[in-house]
Amino acid sequence: RFNMPKGIAVNRMWGSTALITDGDVIREIDLTTAKVTTVAGSWAAFKDGVKTDAKFNNPHGIVIAPDGETAYIADVYNNRIRVLLTSTQTVSTLAGSGTASSDDGTGSSATFNNPTGVALSSDGATLYVAEMIGRKIRKIVVNAQAVTTLSGSGEPGDIDSGTSTGVKFINPMDLAVHGDTHVIVADTGTHDIRAVKISDGKAFRISGPRGTSDKTGNVDLTGNGANFSRPRGTAVSPDGKYVYICDYDNRDRAVRKIELCSGFVSANVEIRSSRRSSVVNFDFTVTGGGEHDHLGSHVGSGDINGDGYMDLLMGARDQGGNDLGQAYVLFGKASGW
């Protein structure tokens, strides 16, 4: 029997087991036999230790490192990030003093305020934490135990910003790493899904309307037209094309799928020229020849105006990171753009 399962992580190294945060314990499921065992924890408290001698207080998010042995756990009410070595069932503390705050620091000098979600970079070197009450996305360099704030001012709000400290969340609940370039965040307070750039902490909305309690729903549409109701669990497909969301408060208790941009601009986009005063509509597709990803702006190149020179085509987005259906052209010449 389970008490209150919240987080789950499949061991990709071995492929046959998964770890679950359940109540105040960590349990392991053999995916072949369905056998369930308790590997750490007993009742609500705080203590580093081995097996049931270790104590958690409402562990939530969990992620397993690429080595298949190390698991990181968001220990919500202890305001700490814990480490479980599955081979010895030993629990230790990676970071956090236990004080409910959001101070950067190293190891126990850092503080968290209700950490709920955890996600790892592909190499296992960096851990990202969704801090539900602290309203921040934190970053931990694992080997150094160094904790910094990646994004979020700590003040409640629904603001995407050109600076990491200008971003406002209400209750960021869970997160997942996308291609080691972005962190996808489910904000259960603003009922939307946002992407945070790992390089600078800037955020933009990928799905869900701007707003709070009056914007809930279960509408399946594109971008800001879609609705969520207290989205929680977050996962990204291995190819980076899809984000999966557990939509907790919707009447259907739904698992939602977001298809991210496919990395090209096509079909009757509006071209705004820096050389001409008029706006001309073209029906064409630009692929390759430039940089693009599933979340950033699309960039392509080609001879668009027929003058024999390569032109640069850039897809346009609004401040929330949403496609405008427009593209801007920098016309080329012999000496460059």
For the domain with range 5-259, which CATH number is right: 2.120.10.30, 3.30.465.10, 3.40.190.10, 3.40.50.2300? 2.120.10.30
Residue ranges per domain, the chain? 5-259, 265-330
- CA Rg, the chain, in Å? 22
Q: How many Å apart are CA 77 and CA 25, to the nearest integer?
A: 13
Structure tokens at 180: 């080691």
Q: Which of 89-93, 190-194, 276-280, 330-334 has the highest mean pLDDT?
A: 89-93
Q: What is the DSSP string of 180-222?
A: TTEEEEEETTTTEEEEEETTT--EEEEES-S-SGGG------S
Place of tokens 């509408």: 219
Structure tokens at 238: 């291995």
pTM of the model: 0.77
Phi-psi region of 58 (alpha: psi -120 to 50; beta: other; left: phi over 0): left
pLDDT tens, residue by residue, 155-172: 999 888 778 889 999 999
Q: Is the pLDDT of residue 306 over 70?
A: no
**According to the model, what pLDDT value does residue 331 have?**
46
Structure tokens at 52: 């049931």
Distances (CA, A) of 127 to 117, 120, 315: 10, 5, 32
**According to the model, what pLDDT value does residue 220 have?**
54
Q: How many Å apart are CA 109 and CA 199, to the nearest integer?
A: 24
**According to the model, what pLDDT value does residue 293 have?**
45
pLDDT tens, residue by residue, 176-208: 999 899 999 999 888 888 999 999 999 988 876
**According to the model, what pLDDT value does residue 279 have?**
41
Share above pLDDT 90 across residues of the chain, in percent, rounded to a whole number: 53
> How many degrees, rounded to 5, is the angle at CA 27 between CA 258 and CA 60?
50
Share above pLDDT 70 across residues of the chain, in percent, rounded to a whole number: 69
Using an 8 Å Cβ cutoff, are 320 and 206 in contact? no
pLDDT tens, residue by residue, 44-79: 999 999 999 999 999 999 999 999 999 999 999 999
Could you tell me the end-to-end alpha-carbon distance of the chain, in angstroms, rounded to an integer? 65
pLDDT tens, residue by residue, 223-266: 455 667 778 889 999 888 888 888 876 565 678 888 886 432 33
Q: How many Å apart are CA 162 and CA 254, to the nearest integer?
A: 32
Confidence of residue 313 (pLDDT cuts 50, 70, 90): low
